[in-house]
Structure formats: structure tokens, C-alpha cells
A and B are shown apart, each in its own frame.
Chain A
Amino acid sequence: MASLVGSKAPDFELAEPSGAVHRLADFAGHYLLLVFHRHLR
């Protein structure tokens, strides 16, 4: 896949196991670091 640098970040809405939902829009006005994990165990 080509680098996404310079393009609009793909939108998302994902929940924590607790049910708390996080959306890209929540971080408007802030820098956001997305850390994609490999397998946890």
C-alpha cells in the first residue's frame, strides 16, 4: 500500500472492551498517534 502521508486519515469508530467508543472526530484539533498492535500474546 502506498504511503498515506498527506492524505485525509481514514475515519473510524471503535470501542474498547469496556464499551467506550473512540472516533477519529474526537481527536480533531489534536495530534493523534494510532499504534497498531501485532498479536498481544
Chain B
Amino acid sequence: MRRHEHEIDELGLGVLVVTFERPEVAADYAREIELRWPLVVDPDRALYHAYGMSRGSFWQIFGPRALLNLARLVRQGYRTERATGDTRQLGGNVLVDPAGRVVLHHVGEGPADRPPVEALLREIRSHASNRETAPQHPAPGRHASKGP
């Protein structure tokens, strides 16, 4: 997503990253990867449930399709570590429009199942051009850039 930071700013898109992990784990993670967007903590997963982010089945997480996706990520440089959190919790993406309505709701069906950032940005552009009210000012919440 970081590769698209400039476009995200141009579109005035607010981003919130949500985790269910403990605050200290979340803080370490955000610092380690120099996360540019707020990482909020949802320890009881109330927001995960409200937005339909479920726990995957064994086969969703460890089945052939998931392992193929993992192999693809490793080839792209992803480092695997021993998991400390709930490995069966699935993730996903939700896009909310300026009026507070959901315009994209993607619940991952496996560990690496997410829409490409390019597709999310296309969706916003398409939706905004229909509304003709694309915001031109920065969204709240973004952390200050730490350099190039």
C-alpha cells in the first residue's frame, strides 16, 4: 500500500488499520514497519464482528490454495515468523464513502485474499466521479511522513 501513498493522499482517502492483537504487539509492529496510518486495537474483535470478518476454517488457512498464496508472498520477499496471534482470524477491506455508506466489503476467504490496492483506488475514483464530490483536502488520522 505504501507504493500508492501519494495517490491515497490525492484522493483524500482516510486509512485505518485494525488489529485484534495486544496494544504492545501492535505498537511494536507499527514501529517496526514504520506504518504511515493509524493502527487501532480491537481486542474483543467487536469491529471485526460488526464488519463480518470471521475466523477461517482449517482448510481456508492451511489448505492448498492458502499455501500456494503463501509461497507467492515468500517469493515476493514476505518473511514468515512464528505466529503469536489467532492464525484463524481472517482479514479484509471495507471502503466507506463520504456519506458513511459501505461501497466495498471484502471479507478474506484465506490468509492472502485481499483486493489489490489498485482495484480499491479504481473503485474510489469510479465512485467519486459518480458523486462528483471527491474530497480535495487531506483525510484525518494520517501519521506524518517519516521521509522518502
Binding site for B on A (CB under 8 A): 1-10, 12, 14-18, 20, 22, 24, 26-41
Contacts and interface: CB of A to CB of B under 8 A. Distances in A.
Interface in B22-63: 23-27, 29-30, 37-42, 46-48, 50-54
B131 to A, nearest CB: 10
B23 A5 contact: no
B18 A18 contact: no
Given A10-B51, A40-B29, A41-B83, A33 B105 contact: no
Interface string B1-35: 10000000001111111111101111101100000
Interface string B100-119: 11111101100100000000
Interface in B87-141: 87, 89-98, 100-105, 107-108, 111, 120, 124, 127-128, 135, 139-141
Given A10-B51, A18-B27, A37-B19, A31 B97 contact: yes
Contacts of B17: 35, 37
Contacts, number: 169
B139 A27 contact: yes
Interface of B: 1, 11-21, 23-27, 29-30, 37-42, 46-48, 50-54, 81-87, 89-98, 100-105, 107-108, 111, 120, 124, 127-128, 135, 139-141
Given A3-B105, A6-B101, A27-B140, A36 B40 contact: no
B37 to A, nearest CB: 8
Interface centre among A5, A28, A32 (most CB of B within 10 A): A32
B51 A36 contact: yes
B24 A17 contact: yes
B97 to A, nearest CB: 6
